[in-house]
């Protein structure tokens, strides 16, 4: 008895033994493209089988005299002539658990987990997001491995073409196989990704994409395409099947020929504005307020244009990179599908809808980014799929799995801290509504149907409003209004007082404390707000904010008040650093700090040590060493040197001290503070040479240009656990940028 599988294999082997791997049996695709159809299958005629020719210059030639007939059969020659290769079974490569791309993804995820999430979770104070990373990334890797193991086929997969149906596996590493009748075919299109040949098979049951790397035979995608042509031509309903395939091919070509100048115009505008932001320093602090960032208190003050201008600003390179890539792909697809007028109107109105959502519901001080409009484009793409699911040709029709991934990823990222959730969902809702209105007159999908006059008028008016808003934003930026920040900070403080929660109070204090041109009265308001936050929750970030406010006030105060403020800042920051180093610091009770707080809830010891270093530098410049307890009667010298090629810290006391001594020393190079050292000396000792550093020992400088001075001495309740110990922290650039 012969099973169905054996029968196909026997047929395939028989055909293979009588046909060559010849180049003449395939057709190459068109131009190189990563996202467009290169060449569609012509369905008008099946492949023509060439007759043998007596002309030695023709492609099919007889074997030389005396060639064994067995050898001719091996290479596909019968009767001395080359026959076209006809196959019905196409064998995929052997299944593997990990592809090269997936292996790289897993390595990146685990590398990030090992270098960022694990140290962050166990360094001290952490937020809930760090714990999600710590647990979620390993679960993702293990879950992915388990899912692939569950789906991995027991044997090598095959694409099988019968007379009335075809069996299509999802891929070489997936065990599921879909049975599709030829009447369910929608498109068979060759594509190219880089140098890799691909074949897209679109059916009523879904899309199947095969690359030349998926098969044992490098030419399998081209041969499979010809096999489909042959089977369709032999089918009783071949005429209707070929007509549908040809119609979708023609539709795909028409869509691909549509203009996309609006997409590239918007992309160029956003990139140009970001370039201006970068060159003018607008990316630092709250300078984007000057350029028109969306901010509810300022909109309430009459600056309505921020609802528009904020959509074209971005807060950093990663921000504009992700948004730019999304605009490129979504824009190309939607503008080709709906036309430039409909696309432009959807983009602009979605941007306004998202900005209004941010204005009404977001409590952040300001918001920027084109993701408001991009979420509207995602909704537009979804509406197109819902209304014209059967009419869309590949590659414009996406699978259910694609939509599940896109929606899950974008909805999930919308709830990440520092993301404007209301702006995203406002744009999403607006995009769905306006796309439904823009396509109201299209009962059937037609990419050549022009937008109605009322839509063009609405889009034109919206574009005019955007132009006016842009002009007002430019005029306002030229004036350099310093009062905007004061308006924002006052509104933030009032809201924090109403809410009376630690995070809002801390956020307000930090906003005041980190502005270069802040007024003294505003710093006093920040001091009150920071004290209230610490009274509610004494998390390290909140105490650090309070210390920073004292430091800023100290620099502006008279001598006695200056000393008091700076001393308070030093004592607060010393306690924060101690708690973090001992791993006793806890995150705020309300979860992750949703603000632009000092360390964005990082727990780097270097950050807190650098903060302490700048507070000590300001104190010692005016008042000498900061001393806790009875000051030593003898001199203390600290120097950085090298011993056996390694950095060493030499501490010398003129006389031994009856108790342990704790020191903080500041290292300078050319009058620039480059690091902070923490030293503990055992009681009764006159000094020590320490080479075992924790913190950042590899970055400890030890050359003649380095100058070290003792800034802090504690003989009362020193924070020392070891008899002789040393720690070193290089200056944090994050802190170095603070005022």
Which H or E run contains 608?
helix 605-623
Separation CA 290–CA 160 (nearest Å)? 64
Beta strand pairing status for 206-211 and 196-203? Answer: antiparallel
- Residue 316 shares a structural domain with residue 426: yes
What's the token pair of residue 166?
A: 């075809």
- Residue 323 shares a structural domain with residue 411: yes
Could you check whether the bond before residue 395 is cis, i.e. omega within 30 degrees of 0? yes
CA-based R_g, the chain, Å: 35
- Residue 458 shares a structural domain with residue 491: no
What's the token pair of residue 157?
A: 């997969």
> Higher-confidence residue: 142 or 417?
142
- Residue 352 shares a structural domain with residue 407: yes
Count of residues making up the chain: 739
Separation CA 551–CA 548 (nearest Å)? 5
Whether 9 is in a domain gets the answer no
Residue 351 sits at the vertex; the CA angle it makes with 348 and 352, to the nearest 5 degrees, is 90
Nearest to 617 by CA among 577, 579, 674: 674
Q: Give the residue numbers spanning the domain of 141.
A: 100-151
Whether 448 is in a domain gets the answer yes
Residue 637, strand partner residues: 652
- Residue 416 shares a structural domain with residue 296: yes
> Higher-confidence residue: 234 or 54?
234
Last residue in a domain, options 464, 479, 494: 479
HEC secondary structure over 149-209: HHHCCCCCCEEEECCCEEEEEEECCEEEEEEEEHHHEEEEEEEEECCEEEEEEEECCEEEE
Whether 254 is in a domain gets the answer no
Nearest to 63 by CA among 50, 49, 51, 78: 78
Last residue in a domain, options 151, 177, 194: 151
Neighbours of 551 (CB within 10 A): 24
User: What stretches of 303-452 show up as alpha helix (H) in DSSP?
Assistant: 306-309, 317-338, 340-361, 371-387, 400-414, 421-438
| CA atoms within a 13 Å half-sphere pointing along the CA-CB vector of 561 | 9
Mean predicted confidence (pLDDT) in 137-158? 86
Residue 478 has pLDDT above 60, yes or no: yes
Cβ(378)–Cβ(479) under 8 Å?
no
Give SS3 for 643.
Answer: strand
Whether 5 is in a domain gets the answer no
CA dihedral sign of residues 143, 146, 150, 151: positive
Q: What is the pLDDT of residues 274-317, one digit of tens each?
A: 999 999 888 877 789 989 999 999 999 999 999 999 999 999 99
> Higher-confidence residue: 114 or 469?
469
At 385 the pLDDT is 94
- Residue 461 shares a structural domain with residue 512: no
Torsion of CA 514, 517, 519, 520, to 10 degrees: 70
* DSSP letter string, 472-516: HHHHHHHH--THHHHHHHHHHHHHHHHH--HHHHHHHHHHHHT-T
Whether 438 is in a domain gets the answer yes
Separation CA 605–CA 729 (nearest Å)? 8
What's the token pair of residue 496?
A: 């924090």
**Top-confidence range, 362-366, 434-438, 650-654:** 434-438
Phi then psi dihedrals of residue 8, to 5 deg:
-65, -40
Under 8 Å CB-to-CB from 21, ≥6 apart: which residues?
A: 85, 217, 219
CATH number at residue 577: 1.25.40
Q: What is the pLDDT of residues 433-449, one digit of tens each?
A: 999 999 998 888 998 88
Under 8 Å CB-to-CB from 168, ≥6 apart: which residues?
A: 159, 177, 178, 180, 201, 203, 208
* Confidence bin at 77 (pLDDT 50/70/90): very low
Cβ(202)–Cβ(185) under 8 Å?
yes
* Confidence bin at 528 (pLDDT 50/70/90): very high
Separation CA 697–CA 693 (nearest Å)? 5
Cβ(694)–Cβ(607) under 8 Å?
no
* Confidence bin at 695 (pLDDT 50/70/90): low
At 369 the pLDDT is 95
Residue 690, strand partner residues: 649
Cβ(589)–Cβ(549) under 8 Å?
no
At 42 the pLDDT is 44
Cβ(171)–Cβ(148) under 8 Å?
no
| Long-range pairs, 412-417, Cβ under 8 A, ≥24 | 416/129, 417/127, 417/129, 417/592, 417/594
* Confidence bin at 702 (pLDDT 50/70/90): low
- Residue 516 shares a structural domain with residue 649: no
* Confidence bin at 679 (pLDDT 50/70/90): confident
Torsion of CA 583, 589, 594, 600, to 10 degrees: -10
- Residue 560 shares a structural domain with residue 458: no
What is the number of domains present in the chain? 4
Under 8 Å CB-to-CB from 140, ≥6 apart: which residues?
A: 109
- Residue 569 shares a structural domain with residue 430: no
Last residue in a domain, options 448, 479, 510: 479
* Confidence bin at 729 (pLDDT 50/70/90): confident
Q: Which of 70-74, 511-515, 650-654 has the lowest mean pLDDT?
A: 70-74
Cβ(2)–Cβ(296) under 8 Å?
no
Cβ(314)–Cβ(367) under 8 Å?
no
Neighbours of 445 (CB within 10 A): 20
Whether 636 is in a domain gets the answer yes
Whether 11 is in a domain gets the answer no
- Residue 509 shares a structural domain with residue 440: no
Separation CA 314–CA 389 (nearest Å)? 35
Cβ(188)–Cβ(67) under 8 Å?
no
At 142 the pLDDT is 86
Whether 32 is in a domain gets the answer no
- Residue 371 shares a structural domain with residue 468: yes
Share of the chain above pLDDT 70, in %: 79
Phi then psi dihedrals of residue 41, to 5 deg:
-75, 130
Neighbours of 44 (CB within 10 A): 8
What's the token pair of residue 295?
A: 């901010």
Q: What is the pLDDT of residues 169-208, one digit of tens each?
A: 999 998 889 999 999 999 998 888 778 889 999 998 888 9
CATH number at residue 409: 1.20.1540.10
Phi then psi dihedrals of residue 62, to 5 deg:
-75, 155
Beta strand pairing status for 626-628 and 706-714? Answer: parallel
Neighbours of 180 (CB within 10 A): 18
Mean predicted confidence (pLDDT) in 361-386? 94
Residue 331 has pLDDT above 80, yes or no: yes
What's the token pair of residue 229?
A: 């042509």
> Higher-confidence residue: 258 or 23?
258
- Residue 297 shares a structural domain with residue 399: yes
Separation CA 495–CA 505 (nearest Å)? 9
At 183 the pLDDT is 94
What's the token pair of residue 226?
A: 């010809």
Q: Which of 46-55, 436-445, 453-462, 497-506 has the lowest mean pLDDT?
A: 46-55
* Confidence bin at 598 (pLDDT 50/70/90): very low
pTM for the full predicted model? 0.68
Mean predicted confidence (pLDDT) in 356-377? 93
At 739 the pLDDT is 84
- 3-state DSSP helix/strand/coil percent for the chain, to nearest 5? 50, 15, 35
Residue 149 has pLDDT above 70, yes or no: yes
Q: Which of 134-138, 534-538, 549-553 has the lowest mean pLDDT?
A: 134-138
**Top-confidence range, 168-182, 414-428, 602-616, 667-681:** 168-182
At 44 the pLDDT is 44
Residue 53 has pLDDT above 50, yes or no: no
């Amino acid at each position: 008895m012969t099973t169905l599988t054996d029968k196909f294999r026997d047929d395939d082997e028989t055909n293979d033994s009588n046909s060559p791997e010849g180049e003449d049996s395939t057709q190459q695709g068109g131009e190189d493209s990563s996202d467009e159809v290169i060449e569609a299958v012509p369905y008008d005629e099946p492949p023509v089988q060439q007759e043998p020719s007596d002309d030695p210059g023709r492609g099919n030639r007889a074997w030389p005299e005396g060639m064994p007939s067995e050898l001719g059969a091996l290479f596909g020659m019968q009767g001395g002539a080359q026959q076209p290769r006809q196959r019905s079974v196409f064998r995929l490569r052997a299944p593997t658990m990990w592809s090269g791309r997936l292996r790289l993804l897993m390595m990146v995820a685990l590398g990030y987990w090992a270098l960022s999430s694990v140290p962050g979770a166990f360094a001290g104070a952490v937020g809930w997001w760090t714990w999600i990373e710590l647990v979620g990334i390993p679960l993702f890797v293990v879950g992915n491995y388990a899912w692939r193991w569950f789906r991995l086929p027991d044997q090598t997969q095959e694409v099988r073409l019968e007379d009335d149906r075809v069996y299509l596996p999802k891929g070489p590493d997936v065990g599921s196989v879909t049975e599709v009748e030829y009447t369910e075919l929608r498109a068979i299109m060759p594509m190219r990704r880089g140098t890799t040949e691909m074949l897209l098979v679109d059916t009523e049951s879904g899309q199947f994409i095969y690359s030349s790397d998926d098969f044992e035979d490098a030419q399998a995608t081209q041969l499979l395409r010809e096999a489909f042509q042959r089977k369709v031509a032999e089918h009783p309903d071949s005429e209707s099947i070929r007509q549908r395939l040809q119609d979708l091919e023609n539709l795909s070509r028409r869509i691909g020929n549509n203009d996309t100048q609006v997409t590239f115009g918007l992309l160029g505008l956003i990139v140009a504005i970001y370039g201006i932001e970068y060159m003018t320093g607008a990316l630092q602090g709250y300078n984007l307020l000057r350029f028109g960032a969306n901010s509810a208190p300022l909109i309430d003050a009459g600056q309505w244009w921020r609802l528009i201008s904020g959509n074209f600003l971005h807060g950093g390179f990663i921000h504009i990179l992700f948004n730019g890539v999304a605009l490129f792909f979504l824009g190309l697809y939607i503008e080709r599908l709906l036309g430039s007028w409909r696309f432009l109107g959807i983009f602009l109105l979605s941007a306004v809808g998202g900005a209004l959502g941010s204005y009404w519901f977001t409590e952040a001080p300001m918001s920027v980014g084109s993701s408001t409009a991009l979420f509207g484009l995602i909704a537009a793409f979804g509406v197109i799929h819902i209304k014209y699911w059967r009419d869309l040709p590949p590659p414009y029709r996406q699978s259910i799995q694609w939509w599940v991934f896109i929606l899950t990823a974008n909805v999930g990222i919308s709830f990440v801290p520092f993301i404007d959730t209301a702006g995203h969902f406002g744009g999403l809702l607006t995009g769905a509504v306006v796309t439904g209105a823009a396509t109201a007159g299209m009962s059937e999908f037609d990419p050549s149907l022009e937008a109605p006059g009322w839509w063009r008028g609405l889009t034109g008016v919206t574009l005019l409003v955007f132009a006016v808003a842009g002009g007002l934003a430019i005029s306002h930026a030229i004036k350099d209004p310093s009062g905007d920040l004061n308006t924002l900070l006052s509104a933030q403080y009032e809201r924090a007082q109403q809410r009376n929660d630690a995070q809002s109070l801390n956020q307000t204090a930090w906003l005041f404390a980190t502005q270069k041109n802040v007024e003294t009265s505003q710093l006093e308001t920040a001091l009150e707000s920071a004290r209230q936050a610490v009274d509610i929750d004494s998390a390290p970030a909140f105490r650090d904010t309070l210390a920073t406010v004292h430091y800023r006030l100290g620099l502006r105060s008279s001598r006695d008040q200056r000393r008091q403020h700076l001393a308070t800042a030093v004592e607060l920051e010393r306690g924060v650093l101690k708690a973090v180093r001992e791993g006793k610091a806890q995150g705020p009770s309300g979860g992750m700090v949703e603000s632009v707080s000092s360390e964005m809830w990082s727990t780097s010891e270097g950050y807190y040590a650098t903060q302490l270093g700048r507070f000590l530098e300001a104190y010692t410049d005016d008042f000498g060493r900061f001393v806790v307890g009875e000051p030593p009667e003898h001199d203390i010298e600290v120097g950085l040197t090298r011993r056996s090629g390694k950095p060493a810290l030499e501490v010398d006391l003129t006389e031994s001290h009856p108790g342990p001594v704790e020191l903080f020393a500041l290292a300078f190079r050319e009058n620039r503070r480059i690091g902070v050292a923490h030293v503990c000396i055992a009681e009764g000792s006159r000094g020590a040479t320490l080479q075992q550093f924790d913190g950042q020992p590899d970055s400890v400088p030890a050359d003649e240009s380095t100058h070290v001075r003792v800034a802090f001495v504690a003989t009362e309740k020193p924070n020392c656990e070891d008899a002789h110990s040393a720690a070193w922290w290089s200056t944090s650039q994050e802190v170095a940028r603070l005022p």
